[in-house]
Structure 1
Amino acid sequence: MPQHRLRPGYVPAALVLALATAAACGPAEDAATTSKTASAPATRSPGAATAAAPNGVEKLDPTAILARARKATASARSLRIRGTIEDGKDKIALDFRYSGRTKATGWFRQGNERVEMTRIGKEIYLKGNNAFWKAIGGKGAVQLFSGKHLKTTTTAADFKDMAAFTDRTAIFNEAVKAGGPWDKAGTGTVAGTPALRLNGAPGEEIRVATHGAPYVLRLDAGPGNRIEYLAYGKPVDVRRPPAGTVVDGDAFN
């Protein structure tokens, strides 16, 4: 029986980094609005509710603000990250929920290719539509994986870039590194939650909660480029897919 090996180098996660570097065509939307492309209403973060006590981040310098925001977001019991990113002809949408530091479930879509992902510890389960598998490995990959979950790991060479979607701080870290320099630019709100604005290059903006935990609330890089952080503390149920639908990726190495 011939062996099939998935084509390496498919790196949709790299498109996420366009959020920090995409050229902005105009100002971001008003502070009180949420992404027009997201399908579900925003949920106010319990730790950043208006009634919560001020956390004082607005008194810090940008470097310290970003450090506190990164730590708070990484330490949250659970959260949701969703958004859309455009970079030239490429457009990607994503929606992921995270439980603890090593459990996540969600999906991303690029054009007509869509992938569902689940992470538990170092294990990653991928379920792509036929368009995705065809782009990865042609008709052979479609025959092997259509309707199946491919089991791999967070460090597997062919899929480690996609696995970045299951790391709650990866997008934020790349935005901070690729964008900036960051300066304080006043305050506003995100879905009713008081927030501090940090601006980088034109169109680049990070919003951090000023009440309760200093969670990251939103990343912007101009029209069509927005990532929202929401539903902090809302329980997330992450489960392995049924055993009968799983194909072990080690068999193709």
Structure 2
Amino acid sequence: MTAYLPSARLRRAALAGALCAGLAVVGTGCGADPDEGTNGVGKLSAEQIENKAKEAATGATSVHLSGVLVSGGKSFTLDMKLGADGGSGEVKSQDDTTFELLRVGSQLYLKAGAKFWGQSEAAGKLGDKFVKVPEGDPSYKQFLVFTDMHVLLDGLLGLDGQLSKGDYTKVGHTRVVQVSADKGKGGKVSVSLEGVPYPLLMERAGGAGRLVLEDWGKPVELKPPAQDQTVDYGSQLPTTKGQGASPAPSASKGSGQGTAPKS
């Protein structure tokens, strides 16, 4: 004798099968392994994932960092390519003052427009020129933080509070697992589930910035500017007579108050 399922049961079975097939396409549910094809860090605890991300960042030779950083109550928009021996890129402060930075080894160069230099006596000579920042000038260490990959990352990657592991999601086209501190109030980091577990997105505690970290390990070409594009003022940057020189954040970990070139 042939057994027949009631039509309602058949419909339910068909619906469940279709749903399961659909979920399998996105790699979740119905027996599919969400960690299949990943680097496996998603199986670890939140603390272990954070440590893996820090280890990966510490061992990296370069990174492209972009986004917003808040330090000392001031907001900066960064777009920096950082390598083991320097970095280059652009920084914009909240008052729309923009400056370029280039560091090759210990040699640090700054290029900025008239708004940055304000009423400096030398401002008219500095347009479209790289000004060499003397190592003895108080601003050297303040600007240096933007170009020092490991100092900058050390100050950015720390989470503050009890850690918890979040959902799998994506940063760009890359799958990531999120780790939050104090339910996000203490910051959040998104760690790659593909290849090396690099941190790909950092959301800092207290709304102190949101930064994308990409191009890990890609070569960063750094070379000093041409001599005819460089101005050297010796032991100190030009002074200003009024509102000028935008401040840079402190090199210390956290959100310290930055200082401007002498005025």
Fold-level similarity (TM above 0.5): yes
1:170 to 151, 156, 160: 151
Structure of greater Rg: 2
Q: 1:204-235: per-residue Cα shift (whole Å, max 9, x none)?
A: 21111122101110012487932001123444
* Runs of 4+ off more than 6 Å: none
Q: CA RMSD in A?
A: 3.0
Q: How does 1:67-82 map to 2 (within 5 A)?
A: 67-82=51-66
Which structure exhibits the higher relative contact order, with contacts defined as CA atoms closer than 8 Å and separated by 6 or more residues? 1
Q: Give the structure 2 partner of residue 182 of structure 1.
A: 163
Q: Deviations over 1:155-183 (max 9, x none)?
A: 85322122111122334322344733433
Residue of structure 2 in register with 1:56 after alignment: 40
* Residue correspondence of structure 1 range 64-103 to structure 2 within 5 A: 64-85=48-69, 90-99=74-83, 101-103=84-86
C-alpha change, 1:182 and 1:172, in structure 2 (3 Å) is farther
Check 1:89–1:122 CA distance in 2 against 1; reply closer, same or farther (3 A cut). Answer: closer
Conserved? CA contact 1:153–1:160, under 8 Å: no
What whole-Å deviation, never above 9, does each CA across 1:125-167 have from its counterpart, x for those lacking one? 1111211122xxx322524533321223678532212211112
User: How do 1:108-127 and structure 2 match up within 5 A?
Assistant: 108-110=91-93, 111-127=95-111
Structure 2 residues not aligned, in runs of 5+ = 1-35, 238-263
Match of 2:6 in 1: none
CA 87–129 in structure 1, closer or farther in 2 if over 3 Å, else same:
same
Question: Which among 205, 209, 224 is matched to residue 225 of structure 1?
Answer: 209
* Alpha-carbon shift at residue 236 of structure 1 (Å): 2.9
- Give the match for residue 216 of structure 1: 199
Paired residues, number: 198
Q: Work out the CA distance in 2 between the residues paired with 1:155 and 1:184.
A: 45
The amino acid of 2:96's aligned partner reads N
TM-score relative to the length of structure 1: 0.66
Alignment CA distance shift 1:178-1:57 (3 Å): closer
Aligned to 2:132: 151
CA shift in 2, pair 1:108/1:214, >3 Å? same
Question: What corresponds to 1:132 in structure 2?
Answer: 116
| Residue identity opposite 1:104 in structure 2 | G
CA distance in 2, matches of 1:207, 1:94: 19
Cα distance in structure 1, aligned partners of 2:134 and 2:141: 7
Change (3 A) 1:179 1:153: farther
Q: Is the 8 A contact 2:70 2:208 kept in 1?
A: yes
- Identity within the alignment, %: 24
Amino acid at match of 2:143: M
For the Cα contact (< 8 Å) 2:134–2:235, is it kept in 1? no
Residues 1:200 and 2:184 aligned together: no
Q: CA deviation at 1:78?
A: 3.2
Q: Identify if the C-alpha distance between structure 1 residues 223 and 174 changes in structure 2 by more than 3 Å, giving closer, same or farther.
A: closer
Is 1:104 the equivalent of 2:92? Answer: no
What code does the residue aligned with 2:92 have?
Answer: R
Counterparts of 1:1-40 in structure 2, within 5 Å, are: none
CA contact (8 A) 1:70 1:169 kept: no
